[in-house]
Structure 1
Amino acid sequence: MRLMMRADQTARPRNRSGMADFTTRGQQLALDQLQDIAAASDDTIDIVDVKPPAGQGLSLVIRVSIDTSGYAYEDGGFDYRRREPLNIFVSPHFPVEPPRVYFAHKRFLGRAHVQWGDYLCLYQATDVEWASQDGMFGLIKRLDDWLRDAARNQLDPEDAPLHPPVEYTSSDIKLAVEIDAPEIEDGKSFWLGTGKLTRRNDHCFDISEWSETPSSLPKDEKFAAVVLLNQAMPMEYPDTISKLITTLEARGVPFDLLFSILKIFALCQPDNEPLYFILGAPMRRRAADEPLRQHLSAWKMDAEYVKALQGIILEENTEATLEAWKVVLEWATEAKTEWCRVYDNRPEVTFRRDQGTKASWFLGKKIALLGCGALGSHIGEYLARAGAEKIRLVDYSAVNAGILVRQQFRNYQVGYSKQSALSVQLRAINPKADIDHEFANLTKGWPEALNISDFDLVIDATASRRVATALQLDLTKHNDVPPMLRCAISANASKGIATLNMPGSAFGPADLLRRTKVAAMSDSGLTDFAEAFWPFDQHERGFQPEPGCSEPTFVGSAADIAFFASSFFNFAASALREGGDSKATACFVRVSHDDGSMSSHLVPLCQPSIHVEAHHGYRVHLSHRAQSAIDSEIKSNARTGSAKDETGGILLGEIDDALGIISIDVATGPPPDSKKSPELFECGIEGTHALCEFHAKESGNSTKFVGVWHTHPVSIPKPSMVDLGAMAQILHLQEKTPRHVVMLIVGHAATRPTWRFHLFRRNEFQVVTLAAGESVDE
């Protein structure tokens, strides 16, 4: 900053008239600070005059003179006088409210960042840039920067957005535009056409469509006249119609053309309706190196003037026509320009407020949302606001009065089906999105009316295990299954789990739940999740808001649900942005209801190797841990014994007949009492009972004994009669026999291992009692 403090200058000149009683403590502080600055500035800044507030709540006005000789002038910059006079208006609320600074003349009328010809736009975002603790020192620093940049023509540098021109609005009607403006053909001075107006509410129209001006316009729709210029308008738009006419003529739009346009559009206006005129000029730019775009403004012609224009064209009575001409002439020469506020949200001149955020992944995406209750109704709103192109809502329940405390529905929607009620909410947020709904019972599987390959993401917010199973059974029939997010929260809304399954993952919705459970059970940092979602006592009654007649649910507020819904939404968006077709990830989120602390933990759910069982076609999910254990035992057996000796062990996991899936989580080596030879492997039992109990307890009974494995070092992986006898032994001749058992045989284990799984069921073996002296062959 050029205005440096000098410690040896301490005099504080006072206004000769003294300060009036209306001066606030803040205004006195501002004056004291400015006097300190002036005293230390080496005459760079001089306090010329001080006018006390003329009344309560009015500003203190300080006239200053600033030496501008130190500012370097560049072409197009502000050409200052040797000393530039400025007026500083200090609010009675200083330092909370920043002072306003004005030139003491209007020589810079029409320049960017100067309003009304004299007011300096020092701050772009006052709430962010003004620091009350800096007081007048901060103001003078900002003023110094502004004056220097203005002299160098750097208030709108080439690598920054353009400061838009200013229209001083006076109409109570607003216009909103979210579609890019038409391009002006090369060599043309302007583009002439129409903007279709669609009423958004009582105070605002949408500019919903651009088109060339047709020969006639329907009266049952509303249109605005549009002129887009190929050259800039003044930085401050004309405040009277006569000035506006002159300004447009100077830019190639003659008055007779303007008048013709107004007459055409007046004829298509309904009775007693105003006419709107949209004016564009190339004065907007979002960022460096982008071409100039149209700045859109709009002014309104009141209904009385529209009626007069209609009278000029339609009236046959000469006297009435003359009266109409009189009204129009009054409008053209005396009327103020009634500018309307334009809410400009065109992609070509604005950035989405959520750009670059996790939620930006959903922009333009197609989403199926299954379940429109607690989590679903919140997530649905996030999807609509994020700009999802297509949303399909699926549910099978209705809105009741009790759920309004935490679900995104309205009082009048009680009795509606949830998916239809939510569709109304989402269309109100994003009417451009394709939003529809299906009333479908998801426990019967994927809705037939929806093609799953049409979607970029499926979100299962039902928290239903039955739905997960039904979906998995159905989705095995489809090849193009998109990523799927599933989410649920605990009974007291203190914990939540979301899983994201990518298309190349080996898991389906239901067996992913099992894998998540195993991950939680095996991680000491997730013990509280295991207890919350998979308690030892699964028969404990849940919370019933309507005792005796309602389904059990969780206890949680709208704020609780919003926290988990947003956490799951951002988790999915982040993972989807990263990609990875074969990944499956679980997100564990917790919040303390005591101190409000929050934490989250991501767990990659390792992909198993996939095999197909030989007899029944079950899919086998073999964990990396189990596969590594078997490989290690085979290698160890070859090193410490003989590669031709069979070896083996037991398998722990789970067999899901409903899904046709065998999950192998753990494989052991041979128990200590096992016997190995080239002819057979006899699996011992020493320590196996305790081992099975340990894994069952640690996994919440998800990892338990399912079978055995062994090698055929030099033969194919086909069960021998000895193998079948061992299966019969397990299935029929033990004290507690299982319904089915898995046998894994690793054939040619010594040279080229071939893995094959066999599932044997108890009813596939026939027990025959032999008579005395009768052989098996007989």
Structure 2
Amino acid sequence: MSTEYDVGNTPVLSALEVSDLVETVVGPSEWQAQALLDLDDAVGEFAEFVVEAGPVFDEETAVCHVKVSFDTTGCSRSPRAKVRFHDREEFTIAIEPGEGWPPHVMVDHLRFLGAAHVLSGFQLCLYLDPAREWDPGDGIRSTLSRLRDWVENTAGNKYDPNTALYHAVGGTPHLTPGTPTIVIRDPLPTTARPTRMYLHARAASDETASNQDMPPNRYDLIADRLDDRDLVIPVIPLRGDLPIGAGSGALSELFGRIEVTQGLWPRDTQRAIHERALELSPALTPPRTTTAAVDEIRSIARRGPLESLAWTCGWNGHRLAADVGASEDNEAFEYPEPEEPVTRLAAALIDGMRLNPAGAQQYALVAVPHPGGGSRHLICLRVPAQVADVTREALAAPDVVVTPEKLVLASGRVPMEWCRVSDERGEVTVRRDVGRPVGELVGKTVHVWGTGGIGSWIAEWVVRAGVGKVVLHDPGCVTGGLLVRQDFVEADVGLRKDRALATRLRAMRDDVEVELLEDLTPPEAILEADLLIDATINRAVTRFLDDLVVTRPDRRTTFAQIATDTDTGTLGIAIVAVPGGGHTLTELDTEAGAQVEADSEIEDYRVFWNEPSPGSEFVPTRGCSIPTFHGSAADLAGVSGALLNAICLHLASGQSGTHLMALPQSGVTPSRRLLMPSLRQMLSSPSDPADSAA
């Protein structure tokens, strides 16, 4: 039921009308009433807008609708624009009863079909991230401002379809709550015909892995079967995009959208798409009404998938698994033949059901061409196990035949769900850390020696940065007290540090290679690395690395030593010796100490060259542990991240040097200083490592 408040060209609602409406049991909420007043004021500010009709209040949904028009004659128009605007375009603004969600903007036609940020052809996506972009304090003015921007940008062809959300499938995400995530990392087959791939289940935790009744939260798409439990999934490429979306609820919705969008009406394709899209889309104009088709789907859903399919495959002849031969009246029953794209999808689903075990749900990956070109957009549907099992029983019966056409006939009563797709293919995904210093580590081999307060965090950061291989060395043992600030968990207590950390690092990325270095003596195993980070604070290790600098001047490995201060764990130092630099770590350390001693501005960093002062170290466990420095996990994680970024800058520049840094809570200024070797040291030849370490 709807109520129309016709105000013509007068203000949308007067203050008295607002007061009256707020007091009524059924009518606009206080937020909606205020939004209507704001709309009247905003229309006065935005000369292009005119209120044409409304407001109309939908008592069923509690949504208030107002129709406005926008004068587009002042917009710059590109000949390449997807949309040809009329001189004045009408839009319906739907105002929700609460302020937590921005107003929706819709149209009652499909002329905007396929344009960027248009959902299913009729609703405009003006807020890509409402939680961040929608401020109720700005009110409906921000909606009008964004609507104006959308018209101007669309008319001027200023939107990049490659960055428009879900543009290939009508601008809407396809996701059913409770379904697993499908992870896709490898390139897909480039054939135009359906192909067969597999889903490999991954357990989220030990609890999931040990409990067979818990469904997997993740499947990996793979080309070759890894074990007998992997499920067959067809990959179906479509001819064109799905500008009106892929549907929800019943499989027939997807089939219908494929039929009208895959170029099957060459003479008048657009008209066919528009007419069918209007049938498939929700009601476009207020008040919103529930169509008979939606009522039927909801009714079917209440029956349950097995009962629904049984009704479809029942006694009326329209059966998914029909008897071979004549019908009851001895005349052959002819099924209408669907168009080819739908037939292919139905045949691929049947093939998967046939090959998968009883009780298995049937998945299908639909590869949709992107309007902007390039790689296809991927969506993954799921058919319930009950439906798949009915089909399997029919396929196994000797006197029954199952055809794709019969599945299409039954599709109106076949429930369909959508799974989240984590598309991580290189051609469509950009790393979130792109352009940051750690990008120097992608694909590299990195050694991390010492996996304690600094080293354990460094090891995690390099793995997340995308290294190809990480090699760990630390024979120490994990104890419970270390969990306060080192990157270990309770299950690691009692294990060797590098072994425990290796297990965690492998869990972070499937494609990273993690090795342990048992012995530091063979230089070949060390000099294969692109970067070696020494966090041991061990004089013997320093001497060993200095010797490699002198004896192996042709090495490819950058050496870096890192440490934090003993008083707070909020200061950091990174000494970096690049290949060909001619400086040992000890020489760089000595030179940096001299520069700090001579510069009063950075005297707070002298702690790295002074002996620990009384009380700067402490014994964490009485009589059972050696003295250690102060510092929390938050401090050390911050220090290690800053030091790693500093080291990566040296990888990019190819220069040796010493970085000093301080966290904000340290109170030390300057918070960062780079100390380069002096000209005298740069011109001198490498000294004997024994003399350097003395």
Q: Which residue of 1 aligns with 2:13?
A: 14
> Tell me, what secondary structure is at the counterpart of 1:338?
strand
Scaled by the length of structure 1, the TM-score of the pair is 0.67
2:103 pairs with one of 89, 99, 102: 99
Cα distance in 1 for residues equivalent to 2:664 and 2:147: 49
> Tell me, what secondary structure is at the counterpart of 2:379?
strand
Compute the displacement of 1:392 (Å).
0.8
**Do structure 1's residue 174 and structure 2's residue 178 form an aligned pair?**
no
**Do structure 1's residue 522 and structure 2's residue 598 form an aligned pair?**
yes
- What does 1:300-339 align with in structure 2 at a 5 Å threshold? 300-316=382-398, 318=399, 321=400, 328=407, 331-339=410-418
Cα distance in 2 for residues equivalent to 1:104 and 1:229: 28
Change in CA separation of 1:13 and 1:525 when aligned onto 2, cut-off 3 Å: closer
Compute the displacement of 1:237 (Å).
1.3
Compute the displacement of 1:139 (Å).
1.7
- What does 1:63-462 align with in structure 2 at a 5 Å threshold? 63-68=67-72, 77-78=82-83, 84-94=89-99, 97-105=101-109, 108=112, 112-130=116-134, 132-151=136-155, 155-156=159-160, 163-165=167-169, 166-170=172-176, 172-184=179-191, 189-190=192-193, 192-199=195-202, 201=204, 202-210=215-223, 219-239=228-248, 240-245=250-255, 248=258, 250=262, 253-254=340-341, 257-283=344-370, 291-316=373-398, 318=399, 321=400, 328=407, 331-440=410-519, 446-448=520-522, 451-462=525-536
Matching residue's letter, 2:359? N
Q: Deviations over 1:654-683 (max 9, x none)?
A: xxxxx33369xxxxxxxxxxxxxxxxxxxx
Q: Which residue of 1 aligns with 2:284?
A: none
Change in CA separation of 1:244 and 1:158 when aligned onto 2, cut-off 3 Å: closer
Cα distance in 1 for residues equivalent to 2:198 and 2:394: 24
Cα distance in 2 for residues equivalent to 1:43 and 1:512: 67
Change in CA separation of 1:99 and 1:450 when aligned onto 2, cut-off 3 Å: farther
Q: Which residue of 2 aligns with 1:601?
A: 673
2:537 pairs with one of 463, 466, 482: 463
Change in CA separation of 1:227 and 1:13 when aligned onto 2, cut-off 3 Å: closer
> Tell me, what secondary structure is at the counterpart of 1:660?
helix
Larger radius of gyration: 1
Choose between structure 1 and 2 for higher RCO, CA contacts under 8 A separated by at least 6 residues: 2
Q: Is the 1:198–1:208 contact (alpha carbons within 8 Å) kept by the matching residues of 2?
A: no
Scaled by the length of structure 2, the TM-score of the pair is 0.75
Q: Is the 1:543–1:553 contact (alpha carbons within 8 Å) kept by the matching residues of 2?
A: yes
Cα distance in 1 for residues equivalent to 2:535 and 2:691: 24
Change in CA separation of 1:309 and 1:11 when aligned onto 2, cut-off 3 Å: closer
Cα distance in 1 for residues equivalent to 2:87 and 2:424: 43
Q: Deviations over 1:183-225 (max 9, x none)?
A: 34xxxx44534245342535443444347xxxx9974433311
Q: Deviations over 1:720-753 (max 9, x none)?
A: xxxxxxxxxxxxxxxxxxxxxxxxxxxxxxxxxx
Compute the displacement of 1:540 (Å).
8.0
* Structure 2: gaps of 5 or more residues: 1-8, 205-214, 264-338
Cα distance in 2 for residues equivalent to 1:78 and 1:592: 52
Q: Is the 1:59–1:89 contact (alpha carbons within 8 Å) kept by the matching residues of 2?
A: yes
Change in CA separation of 1:569 and 1:198 when aligned onto 2, cut-off 3 Å: same
Bigger shift: 380-389 or 101-110? Answer: 101-110
Change in CA separation of 1:297 and 1:86 when aligned onto 2, cut-off 3 Å: same
Q: Is the 2:197–2:221 contact (alpha carbons within 8 Å) kept by the matching residues of 1?
A: no
Cα distance in 2 for residues equivalent to 1:418 and 1:575: 28
Q: Which residue of 2 aligns with 1:707?
A: none
Identity of aligned residues (%): 25
Cα distance in 2 for residues equivalent to 1:116 and 1:19: 33
**Do structure 1's residue 535 and structure 2's residue 610 form an aligned pair?**
yes
Q: Which residue of 1 aligns with 2:35?
A: 30
Higher percent of residues as strand: 1
- What does 1:587-598 align with in structure 2 at a 5 Å threshold? 587-591=659-663, 593=665
- CA-based RMSD of the aligned residues comes to 3.7
Q: Deviations over 1:625-665 (max 9, x none)?
A: xxxxxxxxxxxxxxxxxxxxxxxxxxxxxxxxxx33369xx
Cα distance in 1 for residues equivalent to 2:240 and 2:397: 38
Cα distance in 1 for residues equivalent to 2:599 and 2:150: 59
Matching residue's letter, 2:570? S
Q: Is the 2:81–2:157 contact (alpha carbons within 8 Å) kept by the matching residues of 1?
A: yes
The alignment of Structure 1 onto Structure 2 pairs a total of residues equal to 585
Q: Deviations over 1:34-54 (max 9, x none)?
A: 111334556841152124585
Change in CA separation of 1:399 and 1:450 when aligned onto 2, cut-off 3 Å: farther
**Do structure 1's residue 545 and structure 2's residue 620 form an aligned pair?**
yes
Compute the displacement of 1:89 (Å).
2.5
Q: Is the 2:168–2:241 contact (alpha carbons within 8 Å) kept by the matching residues of 1?
A: no
Cα distance in 2 for residues equivalent to 1:506 and 1:71: 63
Cα distance in 2 for residues equivalent to 1:41 and 1:226: 49
Cα distance in 2 for residues equivalent to 1:105 and 1:598: 61
Matching residue's letter, 2:150? W
Cα distance in 1 for residues equivalent to 2:143 and 2:404: 53
Compute the displacement of 1:298 (Å).
0.9
Cα distance in 2 for residues equivalent to 1:592 and 1:174: 40
Q: Which residue of 2 aligns with 1:646?
A: none
Compute the displacement of 1:23 (Å).
5.2
**Do structure 1's residue 566 and structure 2's residue 572 form an aligned pair?**
no
